[in-house]
Copies of this chain bind each other. A is one copy, B any other.
Amino acid sequence: MPDTTVSGHQPGSGHQPGDRRAGDDGWRIRRTEKDADRLAETESIFALSNGWLGWRGNLDEGEPYGMPGSYLNGFHERRELAYPEDGYAFPQLSDTVVSAPNAALIRLWVDGEPFDVRTGTLRRHERVLDLRAGLVERHTEWISLGGRGVRVRSTRLVSLAHRPVAAVRWEVEALDGPVEVRVCSDLLANQRVPERSDDPRAATVLDDPLVAEYRRSEELDGVLVHRTGRSGQRVAVAVAHLVEAPGTTATDTGCEADRFRLTLSGPLRPRQRLRLTKFAAYECTRADVVGDPARADGELAARTGHEPAGTAGRPADDPGGTGAESPIELATRAVRAATEARSVGWDALVAEQRTWLDAAWTTADVVLDGDPELQQATRFALFHLIQAGRAEGDRTIPAKGLTGNGYDGHVLWDTEGYVLPVLTYVAPAMARSALRWRYAHLPEARERAAELRLPGASFPWRTIGGRECSGYWPAGTAGLHVNADVADAVLRYVAATGDEEFLVDAGLEMLVETARLWHGFGHWSDTGSFHLRGVTGPDEYTALVDDNVFTNLMARRNLRGAADAAEAHPEVAARFGVDAAEVAAWRAAADAVHLPYDPKRGVHQQSAGFTELPEWDFESTGEDDYPLLLHFPYLELYRKQVVKQADVVLAMLRSPGDFTAEEKARNFAYYEARTVRDSSLSSPGQAVLAAEVGHLDLAYDHFAESVLQDLEDLGDKTADGLHLAALAGAWVALVQGFGGLRDDRGELSFSPRLPRRLTRLAFSLLWHGQRLRVAIAPEEVRYDLPEAGPGTGIDLWHDGERVRVTGDAPCVRPLPAAPDPGPEPPTPPGRRPARRSAD
């Protein structure tokens, strides 16, 4: 590129990111449609994140958009919850995710006409997510209404190696004739977000949530500092630019309260290019305001006089609460990170991105030979999991990651129930980070339990900042199983990693406090069994039930896990007041947990009496009546045998030893016929149990539904963000379903199956730091430890046989025969997942 001058501090290279070699589609997600109806959905699919910062895949030029979004983990505002009829302990404030200032915007005018894919002629418009490079590339050729042609190419990344950093390389090239271009690189706060729907599961949108506090610009660079009004969080976003442009290009900057803008303008001759590289850095204070929100607001107000905001926010790594950084301090930190990124340079950022991902893929990749489409979808799912989970400090993964504002950006049990069972094995540091986030919010969970007049701790059903934000308690507060899900994730993490330090520092206390909750919540019947009444299990189409099997079994695991941990670390347990009598009480309750069973039908009851409820009238339920929750009142749903999502089936995955093979088969068939999968959380569990009982085609189809949840927008909700639990569920379906992985006894156990569609299924797990590779072929199953030295090894179970896999040589066993389960059980009419198994 002759005829180009370089401004800014360091020159970039002409690197064109991402290979395009043939046969690479297993690692690349392409979209070429410009259909505005699908825009929001593709923004979720092309979202980039490093666990700290997330950029939705909005077009560089900002418009059109489905929903703009630049999210920081934990960054949120609070809003009042209004109830038509209020009740005791109904949360009065809710956290809601708000966008940080958007640094991704690069707008273009061509001969005064705004570059907009909705106008003019679009000759080409391709976007690619490269799953190995961690980049989103875009290539657009556009002819303006005035007949002027330009090619716009951009590549963006959210750095997996540098926490606060994101960057965009953007260039415009004149096509056949000369054009006059104006390029505005914006950093924009309080970007308007559209109200998306009246669906109760959608997000709440707050107008102008950010209050400007500070701004500064210098040469081509700028920084804005804002704070949220109520949650008292402060965010600084800095941008540093590098411009490669013709010498005739004029440069200007402007800085307002909500916008920093770099403007480049001038002529481009045919084939001449203007290139801009933009390095952005995000810094913010944390959401961890101690105590109740009213007090926090009060503190905020009290301090407003001399220090306008953010001082009520206590960073998690600042447990003494000495106060957050001032606007200038935070701005300085962001500017430093942005300019450092520019010093590192674009090429190095791209290279580091690849290096980081190569390492992650070594463990995370799952190979599916025989189904290229689902191979690609599986990698897409895992890519989003590992970029969402990048570990650092106390940080968790919201239900939508940082890909959208669905569920108000809340963390739900999706994390411990679906995402961590995967990350524990493919990226255990991420699991640890998420569990430490729960631990950091144990004080709020204790407060909540006290408010509920229960002992121990009660983790929130949904939250960002750590307090309960559920506005419908029968499907929120009553979902007490979230506490056992957290405990289960702790136990799994410790078993898989042997991380006793975590157990002693944090895990034990969480186990103890949740065990106390269950022990205090449950009660003993006359006949000596232990009951948990009036709770809501995973299936949200029943609520406030007695003895939900899933909840009871998970509570049992919680009680026993706490007892085991307390006995293993008595001196630590004693610090929390645990004595032998308390441990004995937990064990007694765990042993006596009641599991309702219907002897007449030979199946477990999802909750007491469930199988005696009226059947749902599926014959009269039309296709348009789904999801049922939008077409039937809870009055109907709750009292009938209709299941939104796997519940008993999930219990059989979590606690396989509590069911015989025959019970599993009967339970699976019974609930398969009544489960409508109106939740994306349902398919993974159904896939696993279908595989276990031998319905491999059905299992594969459930797997496909889970892995394609977002790529095919099966739930029509991808626009609001990706369903990370469903994406994690793809791994669950493959590894726990076809791999037959079970881990409830603190050991690895496999009962592999190979679905008809696949000729080979291979995956890895980390176990106490060792990578175990499992490859399932039609004739054999191969276990090996590729990185282990001779002599080191892992004990595991293969199809009921105890085997030891060592670094010396692979352990090979014949593929066990799957049981013959007879004909596939019926599903509700029209609700069987699409058939892909036999294509």
Contacts and interface: CB of A to CB of B under 8 A. Distances in A.
A445 B7 CA distance: 73
Contact of A88 (B83, B472, B633): B633
Interface stretch (A271-279, A309-317, A559-567, A609-617): A609-617
Contacts of A635: 89, 452, 473, 477-478, 534
Nearest to A458: B635
Interface string A454-484: 1000000000000000111111111000000
B614 A523 contact: yes
8 contacts: A82-B84, A83-B84, A85-B475, A88-B633, A452-B633, A453-B636, A533-B613, A609-B609
Nearest to A202: B86
A613 B477 CA distance: 19
Given A635-B478, A639-B533, A198 B86 contact: yes
A88 B629 contact: yes
A93 B86 CA distance: 16
Interface residues of A, number: 50
A544 interface: yes
Contact of A633 (B453, B475, B631): B453
A472 B87 contact: yes
A84 B471 contact: yes
The 7 closest A-B pairs by CB, nearest first: A84-B471, A534-B639, A85-B472, A523-B614, A86-B200, A533-B639, A81-B84
Contacts of A543: 544
A473 B609 contact: no
A504 interface: no
A214 interface: no
A94 interface: yes
A76 to B, nearest CB: 16
A632 interface: yes
A437 interface: no
B546 A452 contact: no
A109 interface: no
Nearest to A542: B534
A608 interface: yes
Contacts of A84: 81-83, 91, 94, 470-472
A817 interface: no
A87 B629 contact: yes
Contacts of A82: 82, 84
Contacts of A475: 85
Contacts of A198: 86
A614 B531 CA distance: 9
A797 interface: no
Contacts of A523: 614
A610 to B, nearest CB: 11
Contacts of A87: 200, 472, 629, 633-634
B478 A89 contact: no
Given A82-B84, A454-B636, A477-B635, 5 more contacts: A82-B82, A83-B84, A84-B470, A89-B633, A533-B639
A638 B83 contact: no
Nearest to A608: B609
A470 B83 CA distance: 11
A661 interface: no
Given A453-B632, A523-B614, A85 B477 contact: no
